[in-house]
Amino acid sequence: MTPTPQNIDFLLEARWIATAEQDDVLKNHAIAVDAGKILAILPISEAREAFQAREKIQLDEHLLIPGLINLHSHAAMNLLRGIADDLPLMDWLQNHIWPAEGALVAHDFVRDGTRLACHEMLHGGITCFNDMYFFPEAAAQAASEFGLRATLGMTTLEFPTRYANDADDYLRQGLAARDSNSNPRLNFALAPHAPYTVSDRTFTRIATLAEQLNLPIHCHIHETRAEIEQSISEHGVRPLERLHRLGLIDPDFIGVHAVHLSDEEIALLAEQNANIAHCPTSNLKLGSGIARIADLLAAGVNVGLGTDGAASNNRLDLFQEMRLAALLAKGHGENASLLPAAQILRMATLNGARALGLEQITGSLAPGKAADIVAVHLGGLECQPCYDPLSHLIYVAGREQVTHVWIDGMCRIYNKTLQAPHAISLEASLALWQNRAQVCARGHETS
């Protein structure tokens, strides 16, 4: 007796599927999705017999991958894209970005900038981002409107901004935003900006809060040589050692950039099961250097990929980061076998989920996980011939090949078109912010 097929929401059939849990690509398989979850991944013929789908989607020229995870972003800084290019980090930050933020940053700025970022990220296959910025409640509003997953940082500094007066005020407001959140796709992290902007007292309090509330810590670390020299001068130790002594380096720590690491520091990160967010484009554009990613991975450190903000990249494009991360590792290590395509895909998906504590929910395509799925079209002439779809994903395809995006089984991008009634035109608000930013920049230049 033939079993009765199980009724499900939709069956997604594709030429190839890369699950991120194994190196091999599945051919002519289907993903069964119901109530936002993946029920099964089976050969197409078996899936058609096992399931009665309310919708069947056939993607005969596509590779399906897990939703990409942007492990480090400043989403609202999309409104500052290109405002101060071709400058070293501290000049860029102290003389241009911080003055612009001082004049512009408010709830509406963060909401509109994050809306723009969500639009860009979704079209590039990013379904989850780890953010560090002010007014996290405004970022939460934007992420909720677009249906993305996000871990929103409770950014902390010692000096006042338009958002908060001091470190205690930053933490108070961040915790209030966390406590008021009701969206299950949104999580929060403690986000001390960097060792050169946060005191020992504040770091100690953050370490205590992280343990009490079971929260990740998201922090810039070892981005430039000058940062390290400053730490040695002021604290007698390098920044990573300082944070380790203060109790921050553990499995919940996400260190951003980590460009300049010694062998001993790599061993420490591995021993403590810490995580690194690698931002290759930003590291190069700001002249910070080339991170030792192959050495980190070889030591067992969990490394994910991030874009940083659009003011220092200038794209929120994980396809770009995947390709650049692979090429930099090969060139820097003078070894073409370093960071193969399957490993790079894991860095952009499952490794990011692990860093955020979300690996049981997302980051790979597997039964029981959320249906966070991206379809990449490899059928165009620019992608032909295709001998290895996973290689093509990293070295040939770009975000322009993303055609469909699902989050929790909800289609957010269909045939490259945003599927959302709230997706009103952003042009008017963006023009307003651009005019204000240009006035601010001119005023700073003449001051």
User: Would you say 389 and 378 are in contact if contact means Cβ atoms under 8 Å apart?
Assistant: yes
What tens digit of pLDDT does each residue of 412-431 get?
999 999 997 555 568 778 88
> Both 255 and 399 in a single domain?
no
User: Would you say 373 and 67 are in contact if contact means Cβ atoms under 8 Å apart?
Assistant: yes
Model-level pTM? 0.96
Q: How far apart are CA 27 and CA 29, in angstroms?
A: 6
> Both 160 and 308 in a single domain?
yes
Q: Which of 355, 384, 399 represents a domain boundary (last residue)?
A: 355
What tens digit of pLDDT does each residue of 140-192 get?
999 999 999 999 999 999 999 999 999 999 999 999 999 999 999 999 999 99
> Both 156 and 229 in a single domain?
yes
Output 86 or 290, whichever has higher pLDDT: 290
The two tokens of residue 190 are 């403690």
Q: Is residue 435 in a domain? A: no
Where does the pLDDT of residue 445 fall: very low under 50, low under 70, confident under 90, or very high at 90 and above? low
Q: Is residue 447 in a domain? A: no
Q: How far apart are CA 135 and CA 153, in angstroms?
A: 10
Q: How far apart are CA 175 and CA 189, in angstroms?
A: 10
Model confidence at 122: pLDDT above 80:
yes
CA 380 to chain centre: 28
Q: Is residue 211 in a domain? A: yes
What tens digit of pLDDT does each residue of 234-286 get?
999 999 999 999 999 999 999 999 999 999 999 999 999 999 999 999 999 99
> Both 398 and 307 in a single domain?
no
* Percent of the chain whose predicted confidence (pLDDT) is above 70: 97
Average pLDDT, the chain: 95
> Both 328 and 394 in a single domain?
no
Q: Is residue 442 in a domain? A: no
Where does the pLDDT of residue 442 fall: very low under 50, low under 70, confident under 90, or very high at 90 and above? low
> Both 277 and 387 in a single domain?
no
Q: Is residue 147 in a domain? A: yes
User: Would you say 123 and 144 are in contact if contact means Cβ atoms under 8 Å apart?
Assistant: no
> Both 10 and 85 in a single domain?
no
**Domain total of the chain:** 2
> Both 337 and 385 in a single domain?
no
Q: Is 10 helix (H, G, I), strand (E, B) or coil?
A: strand
CATH of the domain at 73: 3.20.20.140
Q: How far apart are CA 259 and CA 289, in angstroms?
A: 6
Q: How far apart are CA 196 and CA 184, in angstroms?
A: 33
Residue 254 has what pLDDT? 99
Where does the pLDDT of residue 330 fall: very low under 50, low under 70, confident under 90, or very high at 90 and above? very high
What tens digit of pLDDT does each residue of 332-379 get?
999 999 999 999 999 999 999 999 999 999 999 999 999 999 999 999
Q: Is 404 helix (H, G, I), strand (E, B) or coil?
A: strand
What tens digit of pLDDT does each residue of 39-80 get?
999 999 999 999 999 999 999 999 999 999 999 999 999 999
Q: How far apart are CA 253 and CA 192, in angstroms?
A: 11
Please report the sign of the dihedral spanned by the C-alpha atoms of residue 255, residue 256, residue 260, residue 263.
positive
Model confidence at 441: pLDDT above 70:
no
The two tokens of residue 352 are 């990011």
> Both 59 and 78 in a single domain?
no
Task: For 338-390, give the DSSP string.
Answer: SS-HHHHHHHTTHHHHHHTT-TTTSSS--TTSB--EEEEE--SGGG-S-S-HH
Q: Is 183 helix (H, G, I), strand (E, B) or coil?
A: coil
Residue 425 has what pLDDT? 67
| Residue-range definition of the domain harbouring residue 125 | 68-355
> Both 232 and 305 in a single domain?
yes
> Both 30 and 91 in a single domain?
no
Model confidence at 308: pLDDT above 80:
yes
Model confidence at 447: pLDDT above 70:
no
Where does the pLDDT of residue 110 fall: very low under 50, low under 70, confident under 90, or very high at 90 and above? very high
Q: How far apart are CA 210 and CA 213, in angstroms?
A: 5
Q: Which of 304, 325, 355 represents a domain boundary (last residue)?
A: 355
Sorted by sequence, the CB contacts under 8 Å of residue 1 that are 6+ apart come out as none
> Both 322 and 338 in a single domain?
yes
